[in-house]
Structure 1
Amino acid sequence: MILLGSLVNGIAIVFGSLLGAVLRNISEQMKDTVTKGIGLGVLVLGIQMAFKTSSFIVIIISLCLGAMLGEAIGIEDKMNDFGLKLEKRYAKPGSNFAEGFVTASLIFLIGSMGIIGAIESGVANNHQTLFTKAVMDGFMSIMLTATLGVGVLFSAVPVFLYQGVIAVSASVLMRYIPKELLDLLMGEISAIGGLMIFAIGLNITGICKIRVSNYLPGILILIGIITVQYYL
């Protein structure tokens, strides 16, 4: 079953979010400390991923061009608007539902583990990477929900769709992509994803506020640049 890994990942987020909702009565001090601990872990993860690049120049160019495109499209605003619509339907007035949905979606979506795991599911029907990611996301969703609310639970939907689309596409397309190009793409995608993960860590710890969603087109731009370079 190609979508098994993505399905398990989504279910883990749902269960973690439900458990986090039960634990919302823990002290604000504990929530703040644990959340910032998650933020520190995310920062370190982002740094580790970022150093996998073989060309920071290409990464920076892709990131900047992606930011320009993302700002022009208004990706961050559209994600927030979507979260606010869900908030009006499912959450109490004045809650941080949208922030929870957007923050959790970005944390669970960005990074090489989801991409590589989905590709493994599609190409080899191997779900071990996504199973590992499911455990990580499940634990993280507990604290995110306890801190940011039930908006985190709804992030399971884009996670399943995102990884599921990659898995299905990989089962068809990856047989036509040279292995050398695929390996190169995975390394660079991991690097640019690492920078975005680092930015998310800064947001979680409260050091600054970065509109991370608007950097997402940079991943597609990076894929285009690397592919052109490979064939030239």
Structure 2
Amino acid sequence: MDNLDFAAVTHAGSVKQVNEDSVLARPPVFAVADGISGCQRGEIASGLVLRTLARLADESDLTPDTVAAAVADAHAGVLESQTRDHHRAATTVCGAVALEIGEVAYWVVFNAGDSRLYRQLAPGEALEQVSVDHSHVQELVTAGVITPEEAELHPERHVITRAVGSRAGCRPDYWLVPMVPGERMLICTDGLLRDVEFDRIESIVGGEGSPEETVQSLLDLALAAGARDNVSVVVVDVNDAPVRV
């Protein structure tokens, strides 16, 4: 994991008193979780999920199935916590785990909810979204009812359709993508995206700042824009040297 440079930050934002987000940056596992507003103490769910996923860092032989099993364990843990501690907390989760299949390095990307993962494959290239939102407006976009631009202004844009800890089930999505030397990965909760124009985010991510400088600049940008929600950001750089995980 010497080939990965990374940084993470989480902040309550400018309006909310409690930070229900959690972040994880423990190679080879990187993730964010956003405790769902309207539930009691979403920070319980987000923290529990990422503590469960952090155990993957101690695994000696990671596989895509191992990652999926950890997410399933996290979901079961949240449901158990709801029953034991008498709360309804749930959370989104989005992240990536680095692993090898044969001699090739991959990211296992996972998502449940509307936190997001983006990749910039080389400096100057576009920031491409890998994850797909589990939200009401994304379903409308997929069905062709509204455009992506209309989705950004839709009054129900923050209504999610999947979550870890949902009594209806978790049903995360997974992607297996090759790790590209020189790439930069951005993982964030929707608090970063809510009040900031995407091209400004893309400009900062595509800049020459280190991961530490980049996450701080993105947080500063969100706070300057009002940060009505909690903000969490993880940035990971894959160095140009051959990647071994």
TM (normalized to structure 1)?
0.29
- The structure with the largest strand share of the pair is 2
TM (normalized to structure 2)?
0.28
Higher RCO (CA 8 Å, separation ≥ 6 residues): 1
